[in-house]
Structure 1
Amino acid sequence: MGFLSAIFGATDNTKLIEAIQQGAFLVDVRSAGEFASGSVKGAVNIPLDRIGSQLSKFKGKKNIVVFCRSGNRSGQAKSILEQNGFENVINGGTYQKVNQCIK
Structure 2
Amino acid sequence: MFGSQVPTVTVNELDDATYLLDVREDDEWAAGHAPGAHHLPMMELPARMAEVPTDRDVAVICRSGGRSAQVVAYLMRNGWDQVRNVSGGMGDWAAAGRPVVGDDGQPGRVL
Specify which of 4, 9, 18 is matched with residue 6 of structure 2: 9
**Higher share in helix:** 1
Give the TM-score of the pair, scaled to structure 2.
Answer: 0.72
Give the TM-score of the pair, scaled to structure 1.
Answer: 0.77
Supply the distance in 1 between the matched residues of 2:16 and 2:31 (Cα, whole angstroms): 27
Q: Which has the larger radius of gyration?
A: 2
Work out the number of aligned pairs and report it.
Answer: 97
- SS of 1:85's partner is coil
Letter in 1 for 2:10: N
Measured after TM superposition, the shift of residue 98 of structure 1 is 4.0
RMSD: 2.7
Q: Which residue of 1 aligns with 2:92?
A: 97
Once superposed, which parts of structure 1, at least 4 consecutive aligned residues long, lie more than 4 Å away? Answer: none
Percent identity of equivalent pairs: 25
Q: Which residue of 1 aligns with 2:41?
A: 47
Q: Which residue of 1 aligns with 2:81?
A: 87
Measured after TM superposition, the shift of residue 80 of structure 1 is 1.1
Q: 1:12 to 1:84 in 2, by over 3 A?
A: closer
Supply the distance in 2 between the matched residues of 1:95 and 1:46 (Cα, whole angstroms): 15
Q: Write out aligned runs for 1:1-80 (5 A).
A: 6=3, 9=6, 11-13=8-10, 17=13, 20-21=14-15, 23-80=17-74
**Structure 1 segments unaligned to the other structure (5+ residues):** none
